[in-house]
Chains A and B, each alone.
Chain A
Amino acid sequence: MSTVTLNIDDRKVTIPAGTTVLEACRMNNIPIPTLCHDPELTNSGSCRLCVVEVEGMRSLSPSCVTVATQGMQVKTNTRRVKEARKTVLELLVANHPLDCMTCQKMGDCSLAQYAYEYGVKDDVYPGERRNVCLDDSNPFIVRDSNKCILCGKCVRVCEEVQGRSVLDFYQRGFESLVGPAFGSDLSQSDCVLCGSCVSVCPVGALTEKQMIGKGRPWEIKKVQTTCPFCGTGCSFDLNVKAGEVIGVTSNPEAPVNGRALCVKGRFGTDFIHSPNRLTAPLVKKDGEFVEVEWDEALDLVASKLRAIKSEYGADSIAALSSAHCTNEENYLMQKFMRAVIGTNNIDHCART
């Protein structure tokens, strides 16, 4: 593999050819703030927070889209760079609600983090702030465009990963917004509520509705698990607070799915603590369901199956198993039907 050597902040750094200056910095623990960059998405180079000084360039260069070249001289920490980044942050903060205390993203917000690091004050540019309606039209995602910093990550993830292209920029200038076509709500769009956009939003503009008010990042334990809904085997983090699952967040390390999930996996955890959930077998006695021990229930099933088989033959019995079960459980089910019951009448909800 060919490499290039460049100079960053007077340090010699060797990296694979084709690496961007941003990646080169991050590989070498040189911090660069970014808001619109995401390693899994194309680069838009639009937030302009990652700018650095490259010798020979008239303007500051956005490091996320500048490919490192042999002998390049890069400075990430000059006054000019810091001043520019601080100004960009001041401009974003000047058009951002300052209700961080009650914002769901508190503690996990990139804008707040960088504003803190760069000592940004909120009174540098008094003037108009965006004031548009909340999109609360669906059960899972709250879209607060007033908090949106127009990084465009949601636009790109919806198009590039999810393939739906529900979101885009609309209007111009200070009036610019991100959302579904014609400024409509998510519920009126082709959105499948996969929540990929929520998983990439660096601020509190896109949040999981069910988690609002349920817990702060530092109170939450993340427990990685596999999704129980289908056989794809996506994994994600259960967000657990005080022993209770309050929701799901993507785990970028998930081997099968990365951060992508479907609406069921991401938002379908409400059954866990539902009072309607069955926790013991029920048997109908005198027209009423009655809670019984597992042994009694299984004995009943076995005797009924045996009776049916002896009277009508094995092929009068069929089984349909479920994607909710694990692979092993599904294997056992077909083994049971073929070897124990003696029929090939076995099917699965995910067969077609």
Chain B
Amino acid sequence: MKSLLDACCERCTHTPEKPCQDYLFCRTEGPICHDDSSCQEKRKQFIEQKRAKTSGSKRILICAGTGCASLGAVSIVQALSDELEKHGLTDRVEVVPTGCHGFCEQGPTFIIEPEGTLYVKVSLEDIPEIINEEILNGKRIERLLTVNSTTLQTTTQFNTNSFFEKQERVVLKNCGFIDPKSIEDYIINDGYKGFVKAVQNLSSDEVIEEVKKSGLRGRGGAGFSTGLKWSFCRQAPGDKKYIICNADEGDPGAFMDRGVLEGDPHSVIEGMLIGAYAIGADEGYVYCRAEYPLAIQHLEVAIAQAEKIGLLGDNILNTGFNFRLEIRQGAGAFVCGEETALMASIEGKRGMPRVRPPFPAQSGLWGKPTNINNVETWSNLPHILRNGADWYGSFGTEKSKGTKIFALTGQVNNTGLVEVPMGTTLREIIFDIGGGIINNRKFKAVQIGGPSGGCLPEELLDLQVDYETLTKAGAMVGSGGLVIMDESTCMVDIARFFLNFSQSESCGKCTPCREGNKRMWEILDRIVKGQGEMEDLERLESLAMVVKDTSLCGLGQNSPNPILSSLKYFRGEFEAHIKDKKCPAHVCTALLTYFIEVDKCKKCGLCAKNCPVNCISGDKNNPYVIDSSKCINCGTCQDKCKFGAVIKQ
């Protein structure tokens, strides 16, 4: 027995062609079909070793997700493995390249089991020390540890670090803790048990009831009840049905789905198996953007592994249930995340949304009843089936159950992936988990829900994050992007940024979105350049309302949200740009004036030497002055001045 998946002895009859219904249970608790303590002992040992439970053995979990990989994690994995080999430690120490730990700001990150030691910002140079101190002498390396931002104590274990402490990792439970390329790792950690329970103990309708009861709502944006959606597709007439996993993840700054696919691809497959069984589908697609090569690679490996042991294919676990899964790569158009555009794209057509009804549940892929869910939605399901709807319902609020993953980005100390129960406040996410604003600057706004969401101000930091509350405030949970902004951000400029995204990603089909977003962007652009008029605000608002009211798909229906929420909460800033021709955050170049403070100027002349348009004059006896009529507001002088004498206003 080289692998957990191998038979314990020749009495095992399982093959993918003639599957044994107890296969999965057997591999972790077995053998089932015969009594043999030596067979049982073999399995037990195997699993203990895998869990680093054998004394003296260690597992080093190194994040090798896209974030840490770009910081050199792949070569670190290689170097560490080489070094262990040199020291003859490979028997005792296992190096596991994992998916994302979530702590992207501090990458590359190590978690060393069994103790759970968290090392951050590990570099190649640290490896000899890790071998000598940590592994051979059992001593912590202080400088690689983190500090809990509440207690200000150095933390050794990852779960006492303030970033992890307040999280509730359900979907991300395996992410960063198992080898995503190993189906064994997944199975040891209760993998596929949810599916086995569904397919062997429950009828399709019972599965749907359980999902309905759990209160799970779609994590792709709209928050529609997953169980209800499944029941529509199940009830739709048709002998052929499809299910789809939406892994297009186009929101700027969002990478939750990438994290799940890279770190725990089998959880998505298991979720889809449960869904396919409940709905009565025998074919599925994962539509993933081609910009996620690692996610696609991990998913390909996972699908091949599942096929090999008969968890995908015909007559799965001898239940008569068939299911095949394929990957389709998208070329990175944001609108292809919209369900009808996505299906058109799978069919080989231009990714353009179409009017609904008919809804995909009636007529979807190739005109057949189709159910589409987001990556995170799918990977919630194994946990719901394994632990029950009541357990799941214990997380979250009355109407928004469970947990949600957020991608924390922007001017926050701990950027990364965090998973919290629904109903956690923005303040807890940004300050307790996120560690507050970089350089202790003042918080200004949080953009939540991506280009379809809105910007919320400081007064709303105590809002609970759930579907209804955020929508009421003019934002939305969306897919879960949280962009944190500090006082150095101009809200008009940010609204313009999101509008620029929406207007260039509009598919061009319907008039209000194609033409209206462009015109809203143009109005914002004029305001940012100091050419705005007060009537522009009214025009912006009324145009935004019409675009929302008349657009064909969610892109146009939500693209005005960043403008409307900013106008609601930060109207003064718009007015300052228009009336006073000033940008309060000192961001909008056209509205800035640079000048030199006489008292601070040491007359070194560095500013004048570097000014690209030669508009600074002065000499050893006369302080330097900027001729603002010629200045192009490039800011070079401010960057160059060593005495902070150049001020922008």
Chain A residues at the B interface, C-beta cutoff of 8 Å: 43-49, 51, 59-60, 62, 65, 80, 83-84, 87-88, 91-92, 94-95, 124-125, 127-128, 149-150, 152, 168-176
Q: Chain A residues near B546 (CB, 8 Å)?
A: 83-84, 87-88
The 9 closest A-B pairs by CB, nearest first: A176-B508, A91-B515, A45-B355, A127-B522, A174-B518, A87-B546, A125-B519, A173-B504, A48-B550
Chain B residues at the A interface, C-beta cutoff of 8 Å: 333, 335, 350, 352, 354-355, 503-512, 514-519, 522, 539, 542-543, 546, 548-552, 557
Q: Chain B residues near A128 (CB, 8 Å)?
A: 518, 522
Whether B515 contacts A94 by the Cβ 8 Å rule is yes
Whether B503 contacts A46 by the Cβ 8 Å rule is no
CB distance from B554 to the nearest CB of A (A): 11
Whether B550 contacts A44 by the Cβ 8 Å rule is no
Bound-state CA distance A342–B390 (Å) is 96
Bound-state CA distance A268–B519 (Å) is 44
Q: Which of B335, B504, B549 contacts A59 (CB 8 A)?
A: B549
Known: A84-B546, A150-B508, A173-B514. 7 other contacts (CB 8 A): A48-B510, A59-B549, A87-B516, A88-B511, A124-B539, A172-B507, A173-B506
- Which of B505, B507, B542, B546 has the largest count of A CB atoms less than 10 A from its CB? B546
Bound-state CA distance A289–B548 (Å) is 74
A/B interface sample: 29 pairs, CB < 8 A: A44-B355, A45-B510, A45-B552, A46-B511, A46-B552, A47-B511, A48-B511, A48-B550, A60-B550, A62-B552, A83-B542, A88-B550, A91-B512, A91-B519, A92-B511, A92-B515, A124-B539, A125-B519, A125-B522, A149-B511, A150-B511, A152-B509, A171-B508, A172-B505, A172-B506, A173-B508, A174-B503, A174-B504, A176-B508
- Which of B352, B510, B517, B543 has the largest count of A CB atoms less than 10 A from its CB? B510
CB distance from A123 to the nearest CB of B (A): 12
Whether A173 contacts B518 by the Cβ 8 Å rule is yes
Bound-state CA distance A149–B552 (Å) is 16
Are A59 and B514 CB-contacts (below 8 A) given A44-B509, A169-B350, A173-B506? no
Q: Chain A residues near B503 (CB, 8 Å)?
A: 173-174
Q: Chain B residues near A176 (CB, 8 Å)?
A: 506-509, 514
CB distance from A42 to the nearest CB of B (A): 10
Bound-state CA distance A59–B510 (Å) is 15
Q: Chain B residues near A171 (CB, 8 Å)?
A: 508
Whether B504 contacts A88 by the Cβ 8 Å rule is no
* Identity of the chain B residue whose Cβ is nearest the Cβ of A87 in the assembled complex: B546
Whether A48 contacts B551 by the Cβ 8 Å rule is yes
Bound-state CA distance A51–B511 (Å) is 12
Q: Chain A residues near B551 (CB, 8 Å)?
A: 48
Q: Chain A residues near B548 (CB, 8 Å)?
A: 59
Bound-state CA distance A1–B551 (Å) is 34
CB distance from A81 to the nearest CB of B (A): 10
Bound-state CA distance A91–B508 (Å) is 13
Bound-state CA distance A88–B350 (Å) is 24
- Which of A65, A95, A128, A173 has the largest count of B CB atoms less than 10 A from its CB? A173
Q: Chain B residues near A45 (CB, 8 Å)?
A: 354-355, 510, 552
Bound-state CA distance A125–B504 (Å) is 18
Whether B550 contacts A51 by the Cβ 8 Å rule is yes
Are A127 and B519 CB-contacts (below 8 A) given A150-B508, A152-B509? yes
* Identity of the chain A residue whose Cβ is nearest the Cβ of B551 in the assembled complex: A48
Are A127 and B355 CB-contacts (below 8 A) given A47-B511, A60-B549, A172-B504? no
Q: Chain A residues near B542 (CB, 8 Å)?
A: 83, 87
Bound-state CA distance A173–B505 (Å) is 6
Whether B510 contacts A46 by the Cβ 8 Å rule is yes
Bound-state CA distance A125–B518 (Å) is 10
- Which of A46, A51, A62, A176 has the largest count of B CB atoms less than 10 A from its CB? A46
CB distance from A139 to the nearest CB of B (A): 30
Bound-state CA distance A198–B542 (Å) is 35
Q: Chain B residues near A43 (CB, 8 Å)?
A: 355
CB distance from B498 to the nearest CB of A (A): 14
Bound-state CA distance A88–B514 (Å) is 11
- Which of B333, B352, B542, B557 has the largest count of A CB atoms less than 10 A from its CB? B352
Q: Chain B residues near A175 (CB, 8 Å)?
A: 504, 508
Whether A48 contacts B552 by the Cβ 8 Å rule is yes
CB distance from A196 to the nearest CB of B (A): 21
Are A47 and B510 CB-contacts (below 8 A) given A59-B557, A62-B355? yes
Bound-state CA distance A94–B518 (Å) is 11
Bound-state CA distance A171–B504 (Å) is 10
Q: Chain B residues near A125 (CB, 8 Å)?
A: 519, 522
Whether A87 contacts B522 by the Cβ 8 Å rule is no
Bound-state CA distance A127–B350 (Å) is 28
Q: Chain A residues near B519 (CB, 8 Å)?
A: 91, 94, 125, 127
Bound-state CA distance A172–B500 (Å) is 13
Bound-state CA distance A92–B350 (Å) is 23
Bound-state CA distance A59–B539 (Å) is 20
* Identity of the chain A residue whose Cβ is nearest the Cβ of B507 in the assembled complex: A172
Whether A150 contacts B557 by the Cβ 8 Å rule is no
Q: Chain A residues near B511 (CB, 8 Å)?
A: 46-49, 88, 91-92, 149-150
CB distance from A165 to the nearest CB of B (A): 11
Q: Chain A residues near B509 (CB, 8 Å)?
A: 44, 46, 150, 152, 169, 176
Bound-state CA distance A59–B546 (Å) is 10
Q: Chain B residues near A174 (CB, 8 Å)?
A: 503-504, 506, 508, 514-515, 517-518
CB distance from A183 to the nearest CB of B (A): 14
Whether A91 contacts B506 by the Cβ 8 Å rule is no
Are A84 and B333 CB-contacts (below 8 A) given A45-B355, A46-B511, A172-B506? no
Bound-state CA distance A168–B507 (Å) is 12
Q: Which of B506, B522, B549 contacts A80 (CB 8 A)?
A: B549
Q: Chain A residues near B352 (CB, 8 Å)?
A: 169
- Which of A88, A91, A169 has the largest count of B CB atoms less than 10 A from its CB? A91
Q: Which of A59, A92, A127 contacts B550 (CB 8 A)?
A: A59
Bound-state CA distance A171–B514 (Å) is 12
CB distance from B516 to the nearest CB of A (A): 6
Bound-state CA distance A127–B557 (Å) is 23
* Identity of the chain A residue whose Cβ is nearest the Cβ of B506 in the assembled complex: A173
* Identity of the chain B residue whose Cβ is nearest the Cβ of A86 in the assembled complex: B546
* Identity of the chain B residue whose Cβ is nearest the Cβ of A150 in the assembled complex: B508
Bound-state CA distance A83–B333 (Å) is 31
* Identity of the chain A residue whose Cβ is nearest the Cβ of B502 in the assembled complex: A173
- Which of B350, B354, B550 has the largest count of A CB atoms less than 10 A from its CB? B550
- Which of B515, B518, B519, B549 has the largest count of A CB atoms less than 10 A from its CB? B515
Bound-state CA distance A84–B516 (Å) is 12
Are A150 and B514 CB-contacts (below 8 A) given A91-B519, A172-B505? yes
Bound-state CA distance A208–B448 (Å) is 51
Q: Chain A residues near B518 (CB, 8 Å)?
A: 127-128, 173-174
Q: Chain A residues near B539 (CB, 8 Å)?
A: 124
Q: Which of B508, B510, B516, B552 contacts A172 (CB 8 A)?
A: B508
Q: Chain A residues near B507 (CB, 8 Å)?
A: 169, 172, 176
* Identity of the chain A residue whose Cβ is nearest the Cβ of B546 in the assembled complex: A87
Whether B333 contacts A172 by the Cβ 8 Å rule is yes
Are A95 and B549 CB-contacts (below 8 A) given A150-B508, A169-B352, A176-B508? no
Q: Chain B residues near A170 (CB, 8 Å)?
A: 350
Q: Chain B residues near A51 (CB, 8 Å)?
A: 549-550
* Identity of the chain A residue whose Cβ is nearest the Cβ of B351 in the assembled complex: A172
Q: Chain B residues near A95 (CB, 8 Å)?
A: 515
Bound-state CA distance A176–B517 (Å) is 13
* Identity of the chain B residue whose Cβ is nearest the Cβ of A59 in the assembled complex: B549
CB distance from A237 to the nearest CB of B (A): 31
Bound-state CA distance A168–B350 (Å) is 9
Q: Chain B residues near A83 (CB, 8 Å)?
A: 542, 546
Bound-state CA distance A48–B352 (Å) is 16
CB distance from B379 to the nearest CB of A (A): 30
- Which of A51, A87, A168 has the largest count of B CB atoms less than 10 A from its CB? A87
* Identity of the chain A residue whose Cβ is nearest the Cβ of B352 in the assembled complex: A169
Bound-state CA distance A80–B507 (Å) is 25
* Identity of the chain B residue whose Cβ is nearest the Cβ of A67 in the assembled complex: B357
